[in-house]
């Protein structure tokens, strides 16, 4: 499968569809419905578990090989935490944000009565702030305005404490090659998962493939941690986005990987604060490199600090799982304008398919 104009259009259409779906951690059902619909033609059975993880299974002939391939469906967002006496809403973060990036943004509140629009203002006009700008800005300074003047009006709109809040931002395609959107992390991985299953439809892999859309990754990789225990795979592969470089600068926390130069094969992910870490077995790295070279797919290598993906919890589950990771380089991570190269998403999907296909041709599956 070659990346051409038709493949580019297909990936952009999928990215546009999935980026537009609202799905904060804990509220991923709309994403799961879309992913289930796209994967259904390429699998033998599908199900969702208690937490909402989506599993699409392509049965293989070798019962000793099962590969669990994940892409987390959730995006960062907010949750309504309180209502002020003047009818403003306070929020808490769901996932890791820079609160400064939320200023003057439009929001969508997911109420029981349906989605509702809100805006985040900065308070006083800038005319009155010049020379007195606030240097420290945090979530305590974020107030959502829904056009209400008191708590009674807020309640009449159907808003309740605990409602999920999505940042509202339209997606864009830049220079025909780069996709920018609010939920590129990790809808880009979801699209790669679809591309992978489309590619596998053209072959007969011996390993059984579990294509999984996982939940609650952004608050501590919760979905994959539960799901890997029930599937009990022999192998696993994680699709996610990685810290894409844009200026060529050195970063002590991560290898430089560049959008447009191929997906990055993960080597090491150490998160000192979260305790979710992985050293990818070198046999898995070599196998992914072999699959990339066999299909003439460009790739990069990466080590990263302070990340933590589904791969970290899958590797050390049960009796241990041979786990790898494919990062799609993303600029502006955890913002409303995350950007990935369309070709990297495609190549990540095709590389994952080739890796699954090659799984039982290597001695001992390695």
For residue 255, the number of C-alpha atoms closer than 13 Å in the C-beta half-sphere is: 18
Q: Do 361 and 236 lie in a common domain?
A: yes
Alpha carbons within 13 angstroms on the beta-carbon side of residue 366 total 8
Residues 332 and 202 in one domain: yes
Q: Express each pLDDT in 235-289 by its tens digit.
A: 999 999 999 987 777 887 889 999 999 999 999 998 887 678 999 999 999 999 9
Q: Is 176 inside a domain boundary? A: no
| CATH number of the domain to which 133 belongs | 2.40.30.40
Q: Is the pLDDT of residue 364 over 60?
A: no
Same domain, 108 and 242: no
- Full domain range(s) for residue 127: 77-168
Does residue 186 sit in the same domain as residue 151?
no
Strands (E), the chain: 45-48, 54-58, 62-72, 77-83, 89-94, 106-111, 114-120, 144-145, 164-168, 172-174, 178-181, 207-214, 235-243, 264-270, 278-279, 300-305, 322-331, 338-341
For residues 290 and 340, membership in a common domain is answered with yes
Tell me if 97 is assigned to some domain.
yes
What is the CATH classification number for the domain harbouring 191? 3.40.630.10
How confident is the model over 13-31, as pLDDT tens digits?
A: 999 999 999 999 999 999 9
Task: Assign 127 a pLDDT band (cuts: 50, 70, 90).
Answer: low
Q: Are residues 205 and 141 in the same domain?
A: no
pLDDT band (50, 70, 90) for residue 306? confident
Q: Structural domain tally of the chain?
A: 2
Which of 109, 139, 168 is at the close of a domain? 168
**Would residue 136 count as lying in a domain?**
yes
Same domain, yes or no: 65 and 85: no
Q: What is the pLDDT of residue 366?
A: 41
Neighbouring C-beta atoms of residue 349, cutoff 10 Å: 30
Residue 124 has pLDDT above 80, yes or no: no
Indicate the residue among 144, 168, 192 that finishes a domain: 168
Same structural domain, 187 and 275? yes
289 with 343, same domain?
Answer: yes
Is residue 307 a part of any domain in this protein? yes
Within this chain, do residues 285 and 221 fall inside the same structural domain, yes or no? yes
Residue 228: predicted pLDDT: 98
pLDDT at 365: 41
Q: Is 45's pLDDT higher than 70?
A: yes
Claim to verify: residue 115 and residue 70 sit in the same structural domain = no
Percent above pLDDT 90 for the chain: 81
Same-domain pairing of 350 and 206? yes
Q: Which of 113, 138, 168 is the last residue of a domain?
A: 168
Give how far the C-alpha of residue 345 lies from the chain's centroid of Cα atoms, to the nearest Å: 12
Residue 175 lies in a domain: no
């Amino acid at each position: 499968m070659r990346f051409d104009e038709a493949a580019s259009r297909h990936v952009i259409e999928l990215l546009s569809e999935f980026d537009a779906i609202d799905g904060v951690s804990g509220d991923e059902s709309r994403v799961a419905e879309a992913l289930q619909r796209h994967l259904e033609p390429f699998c033998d059975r599908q199900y969702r578990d208690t937490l909402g993880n989506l599993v699409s299974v392509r049965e293989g002939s070798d019962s000793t090989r099962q590969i669990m391939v994940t892409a987390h469906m959730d995006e960062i967002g907010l949750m309504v935490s309180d209502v002020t006496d003047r009818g403003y809403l306070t929020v808490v973060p769901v996932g890791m944000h820079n609160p400064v990036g939320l200023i003057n943004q439009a929001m969508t509140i997911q109420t029981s009565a349906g989605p509702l629009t809100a805006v985040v203002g900065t308070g006083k006009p800038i005319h009155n702030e010049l020379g007195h700008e606030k240097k420290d800005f945090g979530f305590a300074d974020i107030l959502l305005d829904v056009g209400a003047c008191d708590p009674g009006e807020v309640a009449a709109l159907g808003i309740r404490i605990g409602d999920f809040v999505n940042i509202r931002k339209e997606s864009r395609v830049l220079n025909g090659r780069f996709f920018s959107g609010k939920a590129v992390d990790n809808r880009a991985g979801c699209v790669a998962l679809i591309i992978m299953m489309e590619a596998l439809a053209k072959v007969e892999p011996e390993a059984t493939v579990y294509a999984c859309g996982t939940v609650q990754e952004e608050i501590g990789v919760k979905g994959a941690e539960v799901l890997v225990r029930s599937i009990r795979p022999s192998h696993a592969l994680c699709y996610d986005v990685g810290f894409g470089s844009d200026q060529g600068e050195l970063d002590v926390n991560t290898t430089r990987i560049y959008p447009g130069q191929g997906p990055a094969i993960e080597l090491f992910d150490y998160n000192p604060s979260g305790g979710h870490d992985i050293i990818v077995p070198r046999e898995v790295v070599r196998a992914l490199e072999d699959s990339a070279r066999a299909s003439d797919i460009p790739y990069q290598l990466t080590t990263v600090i302070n990340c933590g993906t589904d791969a970290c919890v899958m590797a050390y589950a049960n009796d241990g799982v041979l786990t790898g990771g494919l990062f799609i380089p993303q600029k502006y991570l955890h913002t409303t304008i995350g950007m990935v190269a369309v070709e990297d998403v495609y190549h990540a999907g095709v590389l994952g398919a080739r890796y699954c296909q090659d799984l039982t041709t290597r001695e001992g599956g390695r």
